[in-house]
Amino acid sequence: MTRPPCLLAALTLFATVVLPAAGAPKEFVDDHDHDHSERKAEAATDPSERIHAVEVAYEIRRDGTVEFEQRFRLRVAGAAIRRGPALNYFTVFKGPGGLILDNELEILEVTRDGSPEPFRAEPHDGFTTLFIGSADRDLEHRIHDYRIRGRTQSDWRREDGVFSAVFDLVGPLPRFPIGTLNTTIRLPEGVELSQYTASVTGAEDPASGRQGPAFESGFANGVLTVRSTASLGADRSFFVNLAWPSTTFATKSQWLKVLRQHPKIPLTVFSCLLLAWALLILLQRIANRTAARP
């Protein structure tokens, strides 16, 4: 079926204006400190603030939801972070028909050093910022253990009988060096991967002359494991790409999400159908009058 011109114009405007803006989230900053430039300069003089270890676990479920748990050990020295870190999660992906959808991120729980920690999730166009910490309390200058549990809806693509998904392992975390990183991605029982790849930038390997990627990976018993083999600098990225047969399990149709997140689309379609129906009736009446003339 041919899309109406008004719908095509709206989708073109969305892709050219809204999507580029979504791809540039605001910088990672302390929750309650708005003097960003001063904090950035101060942080540059204190290299002790860093993330010592990261552990991330994802579980893909048959209903299409993805539950995740992030654990990271963050050293706080009062330079860039005083009351708590801020994490930015990209939430947009390309759905049916090339439409831009949101994965409906939910933050279920945040703890620090084993105790519940105040947090606020602030949605924006294309990403959500998670602010952690309390406005009336400065953190002790030491290593703090954070744990974040969350859930998203299916945000993978289906094409040529294959589901494909991308996991950003370190993108949401504050821009500090990372000591070690371990990740597990669990698929539903009986699902085998068609392929997987990982991409790392910003690795800092003290062993001179080392060759090859800065990670190790393996897949067994439905679980993909990825581990860094070198520390990562502040300017780093770590992505894992998965693909598995779409026939292995069925998820909920994303068209319900399309209708919910793009309510103007069904309204536009309904309006076009109504106009087409009215035009059809008009043409039929004209034809009847022409046939009735002597």
- For the stretch 16-31, pLDDT in tens is 333 333 333 333 334 4
> Tens digits of per-residue pLDDT, 29-69?
344 443 333 344 344 446 789 999 999 999 999 888 899 99
- For the segment 126-133, the average pLDDT, to the nearest whole number, is 94
Indicate whether 219 pLDDT > 70.
Answer: yes
Structure confidence by residue, pLDDT tens digits, 88-101: 999 886 765 666 67
Distance of CA 128 to the CA centre of its chain: 9
- pLDDT over threshold 90, residue 155: no
pLDDT of 208 strictly over 90: no
State the pLDDT at residue 45. Answer: 45
For residue 41, how far is the Cα from the chain centroid? Answer: 29
Backbone dihedral region for residue 162 (phi beyond 0: left; psi -120 to 50: alpha; all else: beta): beta
The residue type found at 128 is: T
- To which H or E segment does residue 49 belong? none
At residue 185, the pLDDT reads 97
Mean pLDDT of the 153-178 span: 88
- Mean pLDDT of the region 254-266: 59
R_g over Cα of the chain: 25
Tokens standing for residue 286: 């004209």
Dihedral angle of Cα 110, 237, 215, 178, to the nearest 10 degrees:
-50
Please tell me the distance from the alpha carbon of residue 94 to that of residue 97, in angstroms, as a whole number: 8
The model carries a pTM of: 0.71
In 84-182, where does DSSP find H-type helix?
none
Q: What's the angle, vertex CA 247, arms to CA 184 and CA 150, rounded to 5?
A: 35
How many secondary structure helices (H) and strands (E) does the chain include? 5, 17
Mean pLDDT of the region 233-240? 94
